[in-house]
Amino acid sequence: MLDVMFRPPSVFVKVEWIAARVRYPDTDHVVLMFIPEMDSEPVWPGWWDSAEEVWRNLEGDSLGGSAVTWWADLPEPPAEPKPELETR
């Protein structure tokens, strides 16, 4: 029964990507950003600054208004597994 504690199963989550040309996230809401120009690591956390109309990385640096083509809400983290109690 404690096996799940030492070898927890994989957790899969569905991520819904939204086209930035269609809709922006709420201002200051941290999201995943897809930046196709960054070939080696195109997905980063960041946020949309509606006051300046630019995308920003977590350090607050501007990525410009059109660098991000898609964005997604951050997925919920997995819950820690709990061992099942044996009943006698």
Three-state DSSP at 32 gives: strand
pLDDT tens for residues 23-73?
Answer: 999 998 999 999 999 888 999 999 999 999 999 999 999 998 889 999 999
63 touches 57 (CB < 8 A): yes
**Hey, where are the domains in the chain?**
19-73
pLDDT at 84: 65
CA distances from 56 to 60, 64, 68, 73, 75 (A): 5, 8, 10, 15, 19
**Which of 2-6, 7-11, 40-44, 47-51 bottoms out in mean pLDDT, i.e. has the lowest?**
2-6
